[in-house]
Amino acid sequence: MNKWIVGNWKMNGMMSSCRDLAAGLVTLEQEKPVRATVVVCPPYPYLGVVALRLMDSSLHLGGQDCSAHEAGAFTGQVSAKMLKDLSCGYVIVGHSERRAQLNENNDLIRQKAQQSLAASLTPIICVGENLEERETGKAIDVVLSQVQQAVPKGKCLIAYEPVWAIGTGKTPNASQIGEIHQMIARQNPGTPILYGGSVKSSNASEILAIPHVHGLLVGGASLDTAEFWKIAEAA
Ligand code: PEP
């Protein structure tokens, strides 16, 4: 199966640094082409400027979130159709930061994923247990219920991101990642499953070699062009 390498820039950078990051990736792609599908997800205001830089490359653009509604009186929200109009092909939904900071639940996340599919975007639906759930042996059940409730029928990507591994430098071991990915694969046959949480160029190959890992969702390391490209080269 094709592998995906997705960079989530989160709320980082300004217009010039986002433009430079995109330009740097386009140069690297020309110098060192990779097999993987590479997607970058800049902050909303800079999608247009990044889209212009990516135009003549095979790099893909994604949003970091979208509305659960098609259009209307939803001040401050951005629709999946708008992202598509800005040349996005992907959108992250249900990131653990939004689940925790904005109380997003599985129902809302499923609606966002459905809006994405209706707009011909591929949703990247994030799931993952927190530390307490991991330590009390509930990881499998928590992730299973997130997948059952948040993933609609259709062409989606699922990203397994244990909350305790995001931005912490800690990663689960190969058997912990493999166990969750295998369970998701059984539940959603044919759906690519990405791993996310403290991925770096030094651990990318090892994680990509785990069965049922079809790609990586990268936060912090995606802000460093050379480091992110090394991760893409590992796929
Ligand atoms: C993320 O936020 O999706 C993520 C995986 O972050 P990091 O790579 O920084 O842990």
Taking residues 117-136, report their average pLDDT.
Answer: 98
pTM over 0.95: yes
Mean pLDDT of the chain: 97
* Mean pLDDT within 111-124: 98
Average pLDDT over residues 144-159: 98
- Residues in contact with ligand 1 by the CB-under-6-Å rule are 8, 161, 166-167, 196-199, 217-221
* pLDDT over 90 at 210, yes or no: yes
pLDDT at 189: 96
Long-range contacts of residues 52-60, Cβ cutoff 8 Å, at least 24 apart: 53/19, 53/22, 53/23, 53/26, 54/22, 54/25, 54/26, 54/87, 56/26, 57/25, 57/26, 57/29, 57/30, 58/29, 59/22, 59/25, 59/26, 59/29, 60/89, 60/90
- Name the residue ranges covered by the structural domains of the chain: 7-63, 65-219
Query: Which CATH topology does 65-219 take?
Result: TIM Barrel (3.20.20)
Q: Spot the catalytic one: 161, 181, 212, 214.
A: 161
Would you say residue 144 has pLDDT above 90?
yes
Residue 56: what pLDDT? 87
Question: How remote is the CA of residue 234 from the centroid of ligand 1, in Å?
Answer: 17
Instruction: Say yes or no to pLDDT of 1 above 90.
Output: no
Mean pLDDT of 90-103: 98
**76 in a labelled binding site:** no
Average pLDDT on 89-93 reads 98
